[in-house]
Amino acid sequence: MFFLAGSRMRRAREFAMNHKTSFLFSLGEEGGTAPFFLAPVAGYSDAAFRAVCAELGAALCYTEMVSAEALIRGHAKTKKLLVRDPVERQYAVQLFGANPATMAKAAEIVSAYGPVLIDLNCGCPVPKIIRAGAGSALLRTPERIGEIVRAMRGATSVPISVKLRTGWDQNSINYPDTASAAIEAGARAITLHGRTRAQGYSGKADWEAIRTLAGQSPVPVFGSGDVFSAQDAISMLRTTDCDGVMIARGAIGNPFIFSELRALAGQTDAERAGEPLSPRIIARTAARHLGLAIRYLGERTACIEFRKHFCAYTKGFAGGAALRAHAVRCSTLKEYEALFKKFEDIADSSTSVEAASNDLKRANRA
């Protein structure tokens, strides 16, 4: 089945002109004019990182995938994934699960947190999730996607969206079917990650599939896959004509991708636009990120979890490796503060980073 043929397609397209626009406006002025979103990224897109991305200009950020089963059992750690910092004015919550009744109950619970969208995960390739019939397992049963969306819609007035992959594997590309099932059941937006389940996160993302779906769909289509720079994001918007671009790995260690996109769209305030990206700014943003993480996770957990972020923030800088070697042992704010200072100094002084690293070793021994 390929959806929307002939006159049905024409009617849907006419409808789409108003519908898509009004939906994007409901995401706020920012969503309508600079539709660049932080993707759901398990282990990364928590309250602290989303707040940083929102401050830098992301129009909308998604929580990482949240287990519907754990949520309805009242699992405290799972509920923490729904926390949002006040600077993040709006967010989308992503749920995963396989049972329509459970997903409906979870959607109802999540609604109390005020998301602008509740997203159904149909893309996770992790074997444990697939064995439970969730994530990308759903790609094999479009009718089940429809049942889940219908059940979720019945439980909340928050718009439901669905995040798909192109198919299970290269021999079963079926995004037109899965998207149709979701849209017919009432999904208000579709994200298409242009890879199959079999590809995981490697290989090239199929932007042509995103373009095809965006050209046919009566609801907004957001593209995902291989957006590693602001130029990639603009290029995805232009070549696929999609309604929004999701940035995943491209934002890790580089939330500045959102400020860059704002600047390209002429939306950044003059002060920030004039500030070139330097280790000083990166270090200060990283410090802000860690401060927020501590607020939500407590110092020890936040510091341990921040190690991967620190490594990502300093990636590609001459001497970054020496700093990362220290970061992988950091478990207090004080230890990180010393590292941030050293990182800032890369900008200021001609001191080699090896010297900075030796200073740190001396400080740690003292």
Catalog residues that contact ligand FMN under the rule CB under 6 A. Answer: 39-43, 64-65, 94, 121, 123-124, 163, 193, 201, 205, 224-227, 248-250
* Catalytic choice (61, 122, 124, 330): 124
Do residues 58 and 90 touch, judged by C-beta distance below 8 A?
A: no
Least spacing, CB of residue 248 vs ligand FMN, in Å = 3
CA pair distance 141, 298, nearest whole angstrom = 41
> Which of 148/248 has CB closer to ligand FMN?
248
Q: Which is nearer to ligand FMN, 210 or 248 (CB)?
A: 248
- Nearer Cβ to ligand FMN (41/59): 41
Chain centroid to Cα 92, Å, comes to 9
Nearest CB to ligand FMN, comparing residues 121 and 216: 121
Nearer to ligand FMN, 193 or 309 (CB): 193
Q: Is 245 left (phi over 0), alpha (psi -120 to 50) or beta?
A: beta
Told to judge if 122 belongs to the known catalytic residues of this protein, a careful annotator would answer no
CA angle 171, 175, 178 (to 5 degrees): 115
Q: How far is the CB of 109 from ligand FMN (least distance, A)?
A: 18
> Smallest distance, Å, CB 250 to ligand FMN?
5
CB of 290 to ligand FMN, least distance (A): 19
Residues 6+ apart with CB under 8 A from 196: 165, 166, 167, 168, 169, 170, 172, 173
- Residues tagged active-site: 124
